[in-house]
Amino acid sequence: MSKKVVVGIAIVLVIVAIIVVVAFGNNPEENQRQVLRVGMECAYAPYNWSQPDDSNGAVPIKGGVNYAYGYDVMMAKRIAEELNCDLEIYQIDWDSLPVALEANTVDCVIAGQSITSERLETVDFSTPYYYASIVTLTNADSEYADAKGLSDLEGAKCTSQINTCWYDTCLPQIKNADILPAMDTAPNMLVALNSKTVDLVVTDMPTAMAALQVYPNMKLLDFTGSEDNFEVSDEEINIGISVKKGNSELLEKINNVLKNYTAEDFENMMDEAIKVQPLSE
Q: Are residues 122 and 160 in the same domain?
A: no
Domain count, the chain: 2
pTM: 0.76
Whole-angstrom CA distances from 250 to 78, 79, 236 are 15, 11, 23
Residue 235 pLDDT: 81
- Domain hosting residue 188, numbered range: 134-223
Q: Are residues 103 and 192 in the same domain?
A: no
Residue 31 pLDDT: 55
Q: Is residue 9 part of a domain?
A: no
Residue 236 pLDDT: 81
Q: Is residue 219 part of a domain?
A: yes
Q: Is residue 261 part of a domain?
A: yes
CATH number at residue 161: 3.40.190.10
Q: How many angstroms separate the CA atoms of 113 and 130, rounded?
A: 10
Burial classification of residue 49, based on how many CB atoms lie within 10 Å of its CB (0-12 exposed, 13-18 middle, 19 or more buried) = buried
Q: Is residue 23 part of a domain?
A: no
Residue 234 pLDDT: 83
Provide the residue-wise pLDDT of the chain in tens; the chain has 281 residues: 554 444 444 444 444 444 433 343 344 444 578 999 999 999 989 999 999 999 999 999 999 999 999 999 999 999 999 999 999 999 999 999 999 999 999 999 999 999 988 899 999 999 999 998 999 999 999 999 999 999 999 999 999 999 899 999 999 999 999 999 999 998 999 999 999 999 999 999 999 999 998 899 999 999 998 999 999 988 888 999 999 999 999 999 999 999 999 999 999 999 999 999 876 44
